[in-house]
């Protein structure tokens, strides 16, 4: 049995998790080449210049076609996902008044499972690449952000830095490696995460008062820049006021199930999201100028890929961030020959991660170096 260390990235709220997965073989080198090293850059110093990222070369005409945004394909992804969560929420609500409680529990859990990918919707729409019409990206990003208790103004500021300086602390503190987790956090995220409710409530109350704390928030929203703080502060008030109104009106009208499928939906059933979203960078390198070494791509079932907004193609997303999510599969096929071997399915992906994490348990300085078809750039 090997230890899996997961990273929980629900709008940068890092939790801890340890899983155990059956493995074939006795060492983490089965089928992969691993290499250990220690970072040399001072983690307290910000970079004096941007990272010179390696990007796989693509024919210019093909690359231009891959960057084309489509309102039709954007609507299929966005409205399709919205229909899914509306359908599961409607079925759970109907069941609460007409069907056995066991059916209601199962349907509510299914609703939470698909609703948990809300942050991926906010993420993609925040990139402004889903729709050709910019206003549509903004409107739907705000809608999903409200539903998910997400301050998308704060998330966008953080995520912009994450793409510019992926895993180069302190310029990117959205994702920090390594992170140690315990199994109860995965179970809590997968069923009912009471701690996340409390965390989100405290965070939004604080932000709605214009208070920003911690190194990362103070870097993104310095106290001297009141204009930068204005929009996330106002949005915090909108989210708190809006969900309070939903709860109060629903209770007064006797619609007790409505807050369950809207206001409290982000806080239960996130087991699948957790397993998908935390594959992105775990066990890989920091301080490298090659996305193939600090991001992970895996292939999966089309339904999971749709719910996950195609973020299983994570190397591709970082390498060409302006490519719409629904074209990442095509981009993957274009550059596949220049990528590390990509596991298929969550089981195989986590089996690979488990081997890496087992090695990191023995040697905390160890980081995984995937086998690359071409020479990788030196550590940045």
Residue 337's domain comprises 2-367
Per DSSP, the three-state class of 279 is: coil
Tell me how many domains the chain contains. Answer: 1
Tell me the CA end-to-end span of the chain in Å, nearest whole number: 35
For residue 109, tell me if it sits in a domain. yes
Per-residue pLDDT reduced to its tens digit, 158-181: 999 999 999 999 999 999 988 665
The beta-strand segments (E) located in the chain are: 2-5, 18-21, 35-36, 366-367
Q: What is the DSSP letter of 336?
A: G
For residue 110, tell me if it sits in a domain. yes
Are 19 and 350 a contacting pair, CB within 8 Å?
A: yes
Are 262 and 254 a contacting pair, CB within 8 Å?
A: no
For residue 351, tell me if it sits in a domain. yes
pLDDT (0 to 100) of residue 376: 58
| 379, β-bridge pairs | 288
Choose among 345, 337, 294: nearest CA to 319.
Answer: 294
For residue 376, tell me if it sits in a domain. no
Per-residue pLDDT reduced to its tens digit, 47-93: 667 899 999 999 999 999 999 999 999 999 999 999 999 999 999 99
Choose among 125, 56, 18, 36: nearest CA to 379.
Answer: 36
pLDDT (0 to 100) of residue 180: 64
Q: Which two tokens stand for residue 356?
A: 């890496």
The interaxial angle of helices 118-126 and 152-164, nearest 10 deg, is 70
Q: Torsions phi, psi of 18, nearest 5?
A: -130, 125
C-alpha pair distances (Å), 135 with each of 82, 148, 286: 17, 20, 35
pLDDT (0 to 100) of residue 179: 62
For residue 187, tell me if it sits in a domain. yes
Choose among 269, 246, 268: nearest CA to 258.
Answer: 246
Q: Residues 167, 170, 175, 180: what is their CA dihedral angle, to the nearest 10 degrees?
A: 100
pLDDT (0 to 100) of residue 112: 98
Residue 31, pLDDT above cutoff 60: no
For residue 380, tell me if it sits in a domain. no
């Amino acid at each position: 049995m090997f230890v899996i260390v997961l990273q929980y990235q629900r709008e940068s709220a890092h939790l801890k998790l340890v899983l155990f997965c059956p493995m074939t073989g006795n060492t983490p080198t089965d089928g992969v080449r691993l290499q250990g090293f220690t970072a040399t850059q001072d983690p307290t110093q910000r970079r004096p210049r941007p990272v010179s990222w390696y990007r796989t070369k693509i024919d210019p005409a093909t690359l231009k076609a891959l960057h084309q945004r489509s309102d039709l394909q954007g609507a299929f992804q966005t409205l399709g996902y919205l229909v899914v969560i509306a359908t599961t929420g409607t079925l759970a609500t109907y069941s609460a008044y007409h069907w056995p409680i066991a059916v209601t529990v199962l349907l509510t859990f299914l609703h939470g499972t698909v609703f948990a990918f809300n942050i991926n919707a906010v993420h993609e729409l925040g990139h402004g690449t889903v729709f050709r019409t910019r206003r549509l990206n903004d409107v739907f990003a705000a809608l999903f952000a409200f539903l998910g208790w997400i301050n998308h103004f704060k998330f966008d500021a953080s995520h912009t830095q994450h793409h510019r300086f992926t895993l180069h602390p302190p310029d990117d503190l959205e994702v920090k490696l390594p992170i140690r987790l315990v199994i109860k956090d995965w179970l809590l995220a997968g069923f009912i995460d009471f701690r996340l409710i409390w965390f989100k409530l405290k965070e939004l109350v604080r932000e709605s008062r214009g208070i920003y704390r911690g190194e990362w928030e103070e870097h993104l929203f310095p106290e001297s820049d009141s204009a930068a703080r204005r929009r996330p502060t106002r949005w915090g008030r909108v989210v708190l006021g809006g969900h309070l109104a939903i709860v109060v009106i629903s209770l007064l009208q006797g619609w007790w199930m409505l807050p369950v499928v809207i206001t409290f939906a982000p806080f239960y059933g996130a087991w699948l999201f957790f397993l998908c979203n935390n594959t992105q960078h775990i066990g890989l390198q920091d301080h490298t100028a090659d996305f193939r070494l600090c991001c992970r791509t895996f292939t999966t079932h089309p339904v999971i890929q749709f719910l996950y907004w195609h973020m299983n193609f994570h190397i591709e997303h970082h390498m060409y961030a302006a490519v719409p999510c629904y074209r990442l599969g095509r981009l993957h096929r274009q550059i596949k020959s220049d990528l590390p071997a990509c596991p298929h399915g969550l089981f195989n992906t986590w089996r690979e991660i488990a081997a890496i994490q087992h090695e990191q348990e023995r040697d905390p300085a160890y980081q995984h170096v995937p086998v690359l078809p071409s020479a990788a750039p030196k550590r940045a």
